[in-house]
Amino acid sequence: MKGWIFGSPQQKTWTQKIYRHTSKFQNPLHQNYKHTQTLQSALALDPGKVFSVVVIVGDSTFKTPMQDNVVYSDGYIRFIKSKKQPVISDSQVMAICDKIESGRLKPSLKTHREHVKHVRTIVEEKQRSIDGKSCPKCGKPMVLGTTRNGENQGKQFWGCSGFPKCRTVRQIS
């Protein structure tokens, strides 16, 4: 990542700003939460035995406060070392490694393409189920509004219910 990064744990997407260019990306905390839940389920681990850490690599700067588990590339070792209480034994670690290795697909271009296709399908299904009625910025419901003044007076639009904190607007086509 480069540039400035804006986001909070609750937001669906975070923003990256490089000079005048702005782009959005999935909140890595949300993505990592799904990963930890999958690991807990697949490996039959208690929630207190899996810790989430998001490592941002590159020349970027957080412009909003971040949680302790969101770190730059030089901070993940400090985060790991801060966990001093053993939660699983060495034999359990070996058993988990064996279980992961035995269930892992062979890395190849084909498995990568299948994974990307699977993720895209999930995202498309989610978008269809939302049907465009939630804010792309914060995830809150969009509400129907009418412009009160200006050249668009009387026209309807979809506005975020989180207004004035979130000012996302979608035009009705």
pLDDT mean by block of 10 residues, the chain; 173 residues:
88 90 90 89 86 89 89 88 89 89 87 91 67 74 86 87 86 76
Per-residue model confidence (pLDDT) at position 16: 92
Which residues face 170 on adjacent strands?
Answer: 158
DSSP, residue by residue, 72-104: ETTTHHHHHHT--S--S-HHHHHHHHHHHHHHP
The distance of Cα 12 from the centroid of its chain, to the nearest Å, equals 6
How far is residue 71 from each of residues 15, 28, 67, 165, measured CA to CA in Å? 16, 12, 8, 26
Per-residue model confidence (pLDDT) at position 169: 87
Quick check: 88 and 71 in contact, CB under 8 A? no
How far is residue 26 from each of residues 10, 82, 119, 136, measured CA to CA in Å? 11, 27, 13, 10
Report residue 46: phi and psi, to 5°: -70, 150
Task: Report residue 148 as tokens.
Answer: 């009160």
E-state strands within 7-138: 13-18, 21-26, 54-56, 60-62, 70-72
Neighbours of 40 (CB within 10 A): 15
Q: Which helix (H) or strand (E) holds 4?
A: strand 3-6
Amino acid of residue 37: Q
The residue among 26, 32, 2 whose CA lies nearest residue 14 is 26
Per-residue model confidence (pLDDT) at position 128: 58
- The CA-based angle 56-59-61, given to 5 degrees, is 75
